[in-house]
Structure 1
C-alpha cells in the first residue's frame, strides 16, 4: 500500500489563501464570522479558557490538538457560526477551497438541567450577576463539574470535508479552539450552543424562589403569636 505525502503549507501560505477565500465570500454577499486571535493566548475569559481546558482534558483529543492551535492562531478559521447544538465553520487548508467543519453536541438532559435550576434558586444574587454579564465563582464551579453544562467527549461528534482519515483532524481541532475564542467575545454563546435560554433559566429561578418565600410566609411557626395570645397578653379585644 502506498501513501501520498502532502507537504505542509507555511503559515503565510495559509493566510494568503484564507484572505482570498474571505474576499471571494464577501463578493458573494456571505456574512463571515472569522476567529481572530490576538497574541499567543487563544482564550482569555473564564468561559473561553474553561472550554479550552475541558477540550484538552479529553484523552482522545490530546494527540491532535497542537496542530489545531497552529491553525486557529494563524487565522485559518475564516467563518464560525454557533447555533443550538451545532457549530459550522470554514477552515482554510492547503487547498484553494476551505474545508467545511461541522461539530454537533448532544443536548443536555432535562434531569441534569433541573438539578442546575434547583441550585440556581438558592443563589439568586449570583443569578442576578449572571444576567449582568458577570460569572460568579460559585456558578462557575457548578457549571464545570461532571453534572454541569460542559459536554463530555462522547456527547461531541464532528465531521470535516478534508481528506484526512483521522477522526479528529487539525481543522476540527482549530474549530474546537475557535469556539473558546468566540466565548471571549460573547459568553452567552455557550448557553446558545447548549440549547439553554439564559433568560428562562434566570426567570424560573427567580419565580421559584419567590414562590418558596411566599409559601414559607404562610407556615405557622412557634415564633408567631395567635390572636388569642395577643388578647391575653395585652388585654385587647382582637377580632
Structure 2
C-alpha cells in the first residue's frame, strides 16, 4: 500500500530559476502546457512557483496537492500504473538500478503523463484549466521529479518499497537448486589456444568448443559459444584482476570477435581484435584530441588532411584514440577499415599501412 510523502515549501527563487532540467521533468511540464487552455494562467503559475506562493507539497497515489496563498487547496490527479507496467520494469534489471540512481530510462516513457493525463482541480474562484495555483504546483513538482523519478511511481500508485518488492517477486530465481546442480559433477572446462586471424599478426585467445549433449529446448551451438565465452571472461579476470564494464553493443562485437561470429559489422569486429573497446571507440567516434597530440602528428604526418582526431592522405588514415595510441586505417571501397594494431606514435602506425619498418 502506498504512503503519502510530504515535501517542505520551496523558498522564493531568483527570476532566472529554471524548471525541469531532466528529460522526464520536461515531459511532465509539456503534458501540463499542452493541456492548458490559457497560457496567461500558465505564466502566472510560473511566477507563483518561483515567488514562494505555495505551501508544502504532498505526493500520494494518483494525486499531488498543496495549499496556495494560505487558503486554496490545489491538486493534480494522475492515473494509476497498471500491473503490466510493473512487469515491463521487471523485464530489465537495469530499470530498477537506474531509478535507484536517480535516472529514468527512456524506455519507461509510458510512466510519464501525456496530453489530458493531468487533471487539475482547485477551490479558488478561477475557472482556468489549470488555474494559476494548480499550474504552480506542477511547475514546482518538476523540481521534485528532477531529484527523484521514483515520485512518478508514487503518483501512479506505487511507491519505492512496493516497486522493489514487486520486482523481487517478478525476478525471483527459478530453475535447478544449487545443491542439485553441483551433484551432477563438473564437466571439463574448455582449453585455450592462441591464434592469429589477420595478416598483421594480431593474436587473441580462443577457447576450444565444449561438447554439449542435445536436450529439449537447448541449442547446443549457442550453449557452446556461451560456455567458451564464459571461460574466456574468467581467464581475463584471473589475468588482469578486473573486467571492463561493456555496453550492449561493445559486448556483441566482443562476442563476434572472440568466437568468429558473423554479425554484419566486419570493421567493428576487426577493431575489437586489434585493440578491444578502445579500438572500437576509435572506429566509431570522432573527437577533438589535445593540442600536444595534434602538434606531434603535424610534424610526423606532413601533408595529411586533418579532421578532429583523424589524419588522412590518399587511401590511408591514422586516428588518435582516447587511450593515447594511434590506429592505422585503409580505404576499403569508400569506408575506412582498421588496418593494424595501435602504435605509440603516428609515424609507426602509418608505417603499418605503408608496409615499411
Within 1, Cα distance between the matches of 2:166 and 2:19? 34
Partners of 2:90 and 2:129 in 1: how far apart? 41
**SS in structure 2 of the partner of residue 128 of structure 1:** helix
Mapping for residues 84-95 of structure 1, pairs under 5 Å: 84-92=61-69
TM-score of the superposed pair, with normalisation by structure 2: 0.42
Offset of 1:142 from its aligned partner?
A: 2.3
Contact 1:68–1:170 (CA under 8 A) maintained in structure 2:
yes
Structure having the higher strand fraction is 2
Q: How does 1:93-132 map to 2 (within 5 A)?
A: 97-108=70-81, 110=82, 113-114=83-84, 116-131=85-100
2:103 maps to 1:135: yes
C-alpha distance in 1 between matches for 2:167 and 2:115: 29
Which digits, 9 at most, give the CA deviation of each residue in 1:170-209, with x for residues without a partner?
1111111111122234332222111113344344445434
Q: Counterpart of 1:183? A: 145
2:157 corresponds to:
195
The reply to whether residue 169 of structure 1 matches residue 116 of structure 2 is no
Residue 214 of structure 1 aligns to a residue whose secondary structure is coil
Identify the structure with the greater helix proportion.
1
- Deviation string 1:78-126 (CA, Å, 9 cap, x unpaired) is 222111112221222xxxx532212222323x3xx41x33433342134
Shift in Å at residue 47 of structure 1?
3.7
User: How has the CA–CA distance of structure 1 residues 222 and 194 changed in structure 2, closer, same or farther, with 3 Å as cutoff?
Assistant: closer
CA displacement 1:3-49 (0-9 Å, x = unmatched): xxxxxxxxxxxxxxxxxxxxxxxxxxxx9721244542023344433
Tell me if the contact between 1:52 and 1:180 (Cα under 8 Å) persists in the aligned partners: yes
| Higher RCO structure, 1 or 2 (CA under 8 Å, sep 6+) | 1
Q: Which runs of 5 or more residues in structure 2 are unaligned?
A: 1-5, 182-214, 222-357
**What are the ranges of 5 or more consecutive residues in structure 1 without an aligned counterpart?**
1-30, 225-239
Structure 1 residue 83 corresponds to structure 2 residue 80 = no
Q: Taking structure 1 as reference, are residues 209 and 99 closer, same or farther at Cα in structure 2, changes over 3 Å only?
A: closer
Number of the residue aligned with 2:119: 157
Q: 1:219 to 1:205 in 2, by over 3 A?
A: farther
1:67 corresponds in structure 2 to: 44
CA RMSD of aligned residues (A): 3.2
Q: Which has the larger radius of gyration?
A: 2
CA distance in 1 between partners of 2:7 and 2:88 (Å): 38
Counterpart-to-counterpart distance in 2, 1:150 and 1:61 = 22
- Equivalenced residue count is 177
